[in-house]
Amino acid sequence: MVTEVALTTDLAIILLSATVAGFLARQTGQPTIIAYIITGVVLGPAALGIVEVTELTETLSELGLAFLLFLLGIKMRIDEISHVLAPIVKISIPQMALVAIAGVGISLALGFGTLEALIIGLAVMYSSTAVVIKMLTDKDEATSLHGKIDVGVLLVQDIVVVILLAVLAAGRPDDVAEVATTLVVVLVLVALLTVAAIGASKYVLPPVFRRVADNKDVFFLVALSWAFLFVFVSDEINLFLSPFGIEAYLSIEMGAFLAGLALAQLPYSSELKDRVNPLTDLFVMVFFVSVALSLDADELLFYAEEAVIAAVVLMVAKFLIFFFLINWQGFSLETTFLGSIGMLQISEFGIIVGVAAFQGDFIDVEVLGFLTLLALLTMSVSVYFMEFNHQLFERLEPTLSRWDTGDEFQGGKKEYKDHAVVIGYDELTRNALSLLDQEYEDVVVIDRRTDHIETLQENGYDAIYGDFRNSIIRKESALKKADFVLSSSVQTEVNKALLGEVSDDATVFVEAKTADDAQKLYDRGAHCVILSAQFTAERLAEYLEAYLDNREVFDQAIEADIQLIERNEPFPDLAERLRGGLDD
Amino acid sequence: MTELLTTVAILFIVAGPFLLVANRFDLPTVPLLILAGIVGGLFVDEGQTLELAQFGIALLVFTFGVGINLSAVRTVLGDSELAAVAQILVVGSLGLGFGVLVGVPVEEAVYLGIAVALSSTIVGVALFQTEIRRNLVRGRLAESIQLVQDLTAIVILLVLGAGTLEADPIATQLGYGLTLLVMAALVNHYLFTLIGRLAGDSDELMIISVISILVVFIGAAELAGVSIVVGAFAAGLAVRHDPVEYLGLFNGLTSVRDFFVAVFFTTIGALIVLPFVEMGMTASVEKLLLVAGLVVLTAVVKPIVTTAILLYKGYEARSATLTSLSIDQVSEFALIIAIEALILGFLTQDVFDVIILAAAVTMITSSLSQRYNEQIYRAVADRGLLAGKHRKIDESSRVPEDLADHVIIAGYGRQGRQLVETCELFDQPYVVVENDPTEFETVRRECDAFVFGDAMERYTWKKANVEDARVILSTIDSDPVSRRLLSLGFDAEIILRTGDVSTALDLLEAGALYVTVQDLLASERLVQYLQALFDDETTPDALRERLRAEVEQYSAVRRQ
């Protein structure tokens, strides 16, 4: 029998406080993560002690982590990162090793034990995905070359994190041999799961998702179901292994990541990214708040002095290491500088590694406090470096110029500029496509139907699957840089948003249902509003007129239309056939 | 992983295949989520996800509040849809009566009445999307009936919070409810804009602040002892806003809602004590009989009663029947009411189970009745069960005796009007066929000749003297109507309308003289404009000025 349930006050307090803190952070230019962590510190036993970790908050924060990794997996489109893959791998692997060594060195110098120093070293080698990607997106530099390098390195780091978490989840080993066994078992399991994920993304998922992609609700929920399947299998891996007498642990993060990776290779991943994003934001917030919920002030500030010193040393070390390595790969001075300055902070994964290490009994809670404080300090400082990266570069350019290799790494994904964007592939827009194709080098079509996307791609158009309302989709089509935009959506809200986002020079054609809507759209800057219904009404009246008045003209007119209907081509060249007929 | 997360994971994993089935067979997702919950419930401890499910309920009602169109509410309440209220009362009483008859205590039978009376917006509207988009009479009608039902559900939930049927506590509840609504208006007016400004372009902050607002309202409702659902509804009203500015926010909320709503529906399924599996033989049979009764009431009696009421209100037979067939399921709001009542102890597990099972069954049967609605209507109409309709058509039509060599214009919308104007210009006799009662007055005022009847009926055409007609021009964008017209075998030439090229092709092959495809005709003009731009015959700004002037002129003419 069910009993009375009320929504927990704990969660309400967390939500409200984090929201307020989030706004404060926003106003002062700090990343929201900082606000959430501080909220946790303030609400938790370290300060006020009014909120405790409950099963609900714990579940939500676990979900947050799983979703964060799931999202990361979805972003891993192999074909998009392959071109910078070689330099990125060459940068990231030595970088992690060097930063880890620096981390171990400074920890030993600060008086930590060997195992602790090792864990600290492993925890500090990543830069913060959340901070860097957030800042890059805010500054609209995510697709710039230095942005791509940063994102690529972050992804490699994330893979290492995932494997490391799996090892840590196995708990404190007795000897080196056990570490090795654990590593091997974990690597084998990871490899198996990866093969399963990649195999599924090749053979199982395409037909399944091709069917469901057109159904918005089902699509999202089936993707979640897929993610939960991997999360569950990873978590309950022993259920499957015990018959073989093996015991091992996989992190739910690993499962979530691989589930995402499998989906990333499908053409529908951008749409999915946008749907998973809000859930991730919400749950990750709970995660960051709850990080400090179990930390006392003593624990957090136990190594305060050490944390400040380590923060300074590590940020300098990170900058130098990144600068040297990116420069070594032959990128220009500016790219090198901008790429390095962004990566100075200790990642939230550092805290996650800390939590896992603490739960696995590798370190004491004070060391976790140290890592949390370290991440907090470096994140806050690095945000300002990123905010003023260009100004800093201009200042320092004369000093740095002797490092200038003069090369510039070339290549990469096509970046749209002065192109045409078409929203919706239907009877209205498809007739205009061939004309646009003659006029513009790139024509990008956004549509929500998988069969349309396939037809478009087969015919050489750039097609993006997804809903135009999603910001990721708009960004992917480089709407802001488009020279021409045609929207066949009759929803005024969509078209208004579109008109708000395009550049002032762009020519915009949109569709509307009523004359009132059309006027509103003209007010907002549309150049042409297609009123299909009104136009059809006029046209039909003209046909009737011809029918009543001059049957021959009528027959000719409908003959032309009927031919068009009968041909039913995907990309008719209408301009060729519009000569003559009723209009003359 | 916490136990709770394991439970959520299992429910989602089980839901996956069920959702694929839903997609494969074009079924609504809600009943299949419930079924997934029933199956998942065998592996998990059902009470666990209840708290997350509460969020699902809150978000469901919350988004209903966000999406509600206040001006639509005003028209509906002020205007024609008293039918909806009558429908709720009649069908609700039948449900209550049935419950009492089979021995359910009156206090609980009330919930059976509610379950039978209310229909699902999620399922109904989703199934009826095309009809609503095409602005067909039955689409609009179904939508407003749903709206009245949903608002009724909110009021019921408010009253339910009082825990009694005494007048005083109910008045207090209504007072609190009103206070919440006032709060919502204040938040909407002052706080929300401020939040929007402070958040800048951060969707993340917008989403968490809106969720915070939701939580505050729920908290306030809890404090006042009102159902959290009412709080959530008020919170929805508090953040109602033109979605243009906050596209990211409203999209984000959909994701959050979909997640929690899935948890809600699966949880509901998991809560069911399964007949035969988890309970004894006799009890199971009794329960299933009750479910069957409820299903019959919802899927058979409710559409019949609704059709009768709509016919009485003056709607013609086909619109009335098809509308009624779109609301023949149990509402998700009835589920919310049931679970709230269960939690408050007003409802026993057995009656709760009956309501949930009936909901799952009727949501599925409803998608079937929707798919075969034309056939059902035809079967009923051919047996003369909707009698008296010819008399009605005769009464409300005006066709000159000597009408011949005329044009029949089906549908008096934008296109129909333009065609009538053309005919009048050429002194060409015509007759308009229309079935929307709200257009009736306009048609009578503006047209010389008209038949007020359904285009699917042979008698309507007979009345329009189709034998002597020159051409039939249908502006009705409906496949069944188009095909029916072609199959009736008239001598007159037929021009039809459809939305896509492949249907157009079919209709041409089936004998239509011509088929208008709106977007195709519009695209011809679009291409002309583009060509002019690219050939530098005009500039974008000059084009805008010209077209804008045209639209203004068009609107000015329409207004006269």
pLDDT the model gives residue A155: 74
- With cut-offs at 50, 70 and 90, classify the pLDDT of residue B323: confident
Residues with Cβ < 8 Å from B470, sequence gap 6 or more? B405, B406, B407, B492, B493
Q: Cα–Cα distance between A482 and A502 in angstroms, integer?
A: 7
Q: How far apart are CA B154 and CA B160, in angstroms?
A: 10
Q: What is the C-alpha to C-alpha distance for residues A370 and A111, in angstroms, rounded to an integer?
A: 13
pLDDT (tens digit per residue) in A153-177 = 887 887 788 777 777 776 666 667 7
Instruction: Give the separation between CA B229 and CA B159, rounded to whole angstroms.
Output: 12
From the list A6, A279, A519, the residue facing B255 with the nearest CB is A279
Q: Which residue has the higher pLDDT, A104 or A30?
A: A104
Q: Do B519 and A562 touch (CB under 8 A)?
A: no
Q: Which residue has the higher pLDDT, B278 or A524?
A: A524
pLDDT in tens, A480-510: 889 999 998 878 788 888 888 888 889 999 9
User: Which among A8, A18, A226 has the least Cβ separation from residue B16?
Assistant: A226
Q: Which residue of B has its CA nearest to A209?
A: B20
A contacts of B552 (beta carbons < 8 Å): 519
Contact B6 A232 (CB under 8 A): yes
Determine whether A77 is exposed, middle or buried from the number of CB atoms within 10 Å of its CB (0-12, 13-18, 19+).
Answer: middle
Burial of B281 (0-12, 13-18, 19+ CB in 10 A): exposed
Share of chain A above pLDDT 70, in %: 89
Smallest CA–CA distance, residue A251 to chain B, in Å, is 9
The reported pLDDT for the residue numbered A1 is 34
What Rg value do the Cα atoms of chain A yield, rounded?
28
A104 confidence band (pLDDT: 50, 70, 90):
very high
- B212 to A16: CB separation less than 8 angstroms, yes or no: yes
Taking contacts as CB-CB distances below 8 angstroms, the residues of chain B near A204 are none
Three-state SS across A559-577? Answer: HHHHHHHHHCCCCCCHHHH
Q: Which of B355, B261, B291 is nearest to B15 (CA)?
A: B261
CB pairs under 8 A between A and B: 331
Longest dimension (CA), chain B: 83
**pLDDT tens sequence across B34-48:** 999 989 888 887 777
Q: Write the DSSP symbol of residue B406.
A: P
Confidence of residue B71 (pLDDT cuts 50, 70, 90): low
Question: Is A403's pLDDT higher than 70?
Answer: no
| B451: three-class secondary structure by DSSP | strand
Q: Do A528 and B50 touch (CB under 8 A)?
A: no
Site from B217, B527, B558 to mutate, A interface, most A CB atoms within 10 angstroms: B527
Q: Closest Cα of chain A to B151: distance in Å?
A: 24
- Is the CB of B203 less than 8 angstroms away from the CB of A530? no
Q: Is the dihedral of CA A31, A32, A38, A42 positive or negative?
A: positive
Determine, for residues A218 and B422 on separate chains, whether the beta-carbon distance falls below 8 Å.
no
Least confident of A140-144, B225-229, B467-471: A140-144
Min Cα separation B390/chain A (Å): 31
Q: At a CB cut-off of 8 Å and minimum separation 6, what does A547 contact?
A: A554, B471
CA–CA min distance B257, chain A (Å)? 9
pLDDT reported for residue B80? 54
Query: Of the candidates B5, B16, B207, which has its C-beta nearest A59's C-beta?
Result: B5
Is the pLDDT at B133 greater than 70? The verdict is no
pLDDT at B77: 58
Give how far A300 is from chain B: nearest CA, Å. Answer: 25
Q: Which residues of A touch B519 (CB under 8 A)?
A: 426-428, 488, 532
CB A279 within 8 A of CB A260: no
DSSP string, A471-530: HHHHHHTTGGG-SEEEE----HHHHHHHHHHS-TT-EEEEE-SSHHHHHHHHHTT-SEEE
* pLDDT tens, residue by residue, A4-29: 445 667 888 899 999 999 999 888 87
- Give yes or no for a contact between B344 and B108, defined as CB atoms under 8 angstroms apart: no
Please, are residues B470 and B405 in contact by the beta-carbon 8 Å criterion?
yes
Overall average pLDDT of the A216-243 stretch: 87
SS3 at position B515: strand
A470-484, A532-546, B235-249, B347-361 — most confident range? B347-361
Residue type, B141: L
CATH class, domain B52-249+279-382, is mainly alpha
Of the pLDDT bands very low, low, confident and very high (cuts 50, 70, 90), residue A549 is confident
* Among candidates A32, A493, A578 on the partner chain, residue whose Cβ is nearest the Cβ of B243: A493
Q: pLDDT at position B197, please?
A: 82
Distance (Å, whole) CA A473 – CA A422: 12
| Residues of B with Cβ-Cβ distance to A435 under 8 angstroms | 527, 530-531, 534
Q: Kindly state the DSSP code that residue A64 receives in the 8-state scheme.
A: H
Residue matched to tokens 């919930």: B111
Q: What percentage of residues in chain A have a pLDDT greater than 90? A: 16
According to the model, what pLDDT value does residue A580 have? Answer: 43
Domains located in chain A, CATH noted = 9-403 (1.20.1530.20), 420-583 (3.40.50.720)
Residue B364: how many CA atoms within 13 Å on its side-chain side? 16
CA distance B218 to B210: 12
- Listed by start position, the domains of chain B span 52-249+279-382, 389-559
User: With contacts defined as CB-CB under 8 Å, which chain A residues touch B15?
Assistant: 221, 225
pLDDT digits (tens, 9 = 90+) for A337-388: 999 998 999 987 888 888 888 887 888 888 988 998 898 889 878 888 888 8
Write the single-letter amino acid at B418: Q
- How many Å separate Cα B187 from the centre of its chain? 29
CA closest to B135 among chain A residues: A513
State whether the Cα torsion B484-B487-B492-B493 is positive or negative: positive
pLDDT, one tens digit per residue, over B432-462 is 998 877 778 888 888 889 998 888 888 888 8
Q: Please name the helix (run of DSSP H) or strand (run of DSSP E) that holds residue B517, with its range, or none.
A: strand B514-517
The span from the CA of B481 to the CA of B433, in Å, is 12
In this prediction, residue B409 carries a pLDDT of 93
Token pair, residue B374, equals 């034309």
CA distance B307 to chain A (A): 31
Annotate B130-169 with b (16+ C-beta within 10 A) or e (fewer): ebbeeebbbbbbbbbbbbbbbbbbbebbbbbbbeeeeeee
CATH number of B389-559: 3.40.50.720
pLDDT at A250 over 90: no
- Give the CA dihedral B134, B140, B142, B148, nearest 10 degrees: 150
Cβ separation of A285 and B208 shorter than 8 Å?
yes
Per CATH, B52-249+279-382 and B389-559 having the same topology is answered no
CA distance B314 to B398: 17
Query: Closest chain A residue to B553 measured between Cα atoms?
Result: A515
Q: Which helix (DSSP H) or strand (DSSP E) does residue A336 occupy?
A: helix A333-341
pLDDT, tens digit (0-9, with 9 covering 90-100), for A175-190: 677 777 777 877 788 7
On whether the CB atoms of residues A433 and A571 are closer than 8 A, the answer is yes
Under 8 Å CB-to-CB from A119, ≥6 apart: which residues? A353, A354, A357, A362, A363, A367
Banded pLDDT at B526 (limits 50, 70, 90)? confident
The stretch A285-289 carries a mean pLDDT of 85
What is the distance between the alpha carbons of residues B10 and A309, in angstroms, rounded to a whole number? 46
Q: Return the structure tokens found at B147.
A: 């709206």
Give the pLDDT confidence score for residue A143 in this predicted structure. 67
Among chain A residues, the shortest Cα distance to B247 is held by A469
Q: Give the residue on B whose Cα is nearest the Cα of A169.
A: B1
Q: Which two tokens stand for residue B64?
A: 């209903």
Cβ contacts of B99 within 8 Å, gap of 6 or more = B106, B108, B109, B110, B112, B113
**Per-residue model confidence (pLDDT) at position A3:** 40
Provide the sign of the torsion angle of the four alpha carbons A118, A120, A122, A124, taken in this order: negative
What pLDDT digit, counting tens, does each position of B176-234 carry? 888 888 888 888 888 888 888 888 777 888 888 999 999 999 888 888 878 888 889 89
At B120 the pLDDT is 81
DSSP string, B280-333: -HHHHHHHHHHHHHHHHIIIIIHHHHHHHHHHHTT--HHHHHHHHHHT-S--HH
B434 phi and psi, to 5 degrees?
Answer: -145, 150
Q: Mark yes or no for CB contact B528/A5 under 8 Å.
A: no
Q: Is the pLDDT assigned to residue A215 strictly greater than 90?
A: no
pLDDT class of A421 with cuts at 50, 70, 90: very high
Strand, coil or helix: A423: strand
pLDDT of residue A102: 94
Interface test with B, best of A8, A65, A135, A217 (most B CBs within 10 A): A217
- Other CB atoms within a 10 A radius of the CB of residue B422 amount to 24
> Do B555 and A515 make contact, defined as CB atoms within 8 angstroms?
yes
Q: Using pLDDT thresholds of 50, 70 and 90, give the confidence band for residue A570.
A: low
The helix-helix angle for B247-271 and B3-24 (nearest 10°) equals 100
What amino acid is encoded at A474 in this protein?
R
Q: Do B6 and A235 touch (CB under 8 A)?
A: yes
Say if residue A412's pLDDT is above 50. no
- Angle at B254 (CA atoms; ends B253, B259), nearest 5 degrees: 100
- Backbone region of residue A4 per phi and psi (left: phi > 0; alpha: psi in -120 to 50; beta: other values): beta
With CA atoms as reference, the chain A residue closest to B412 would be A537
Question: How far from B165 is each of B162, B169, B177, CA to CA, in Å?
Answer: 8, 8, 17
Nearest CA in chain A to B12: A225
**Contact flag A518-B551 (C-beta cutoff 8 Å):** yes
Distance CA A583, CA B528 (A): 11
Q: Give B253-307 pLDDT, tens digit per residue.
A: 888 889 998 998 998 888 888 777 777 788 888 889 999 999 999 999 999 999 8
A575 CB neighbours in chain B (<8 A) are 527, 530-531
CB of B180 within 8 A of CB of B234?
yes
Is the Cβ pair B514, A276 closer than 8 Å?
A: no
Confidence of residue A99 (pLDDT cuts 50, 70, 90): very high
Type of residue numbered A549: D
Q: What does the mean pLDDT of chain B come to?
A: 84
Does the pTM surpass 0.90? The reply is no
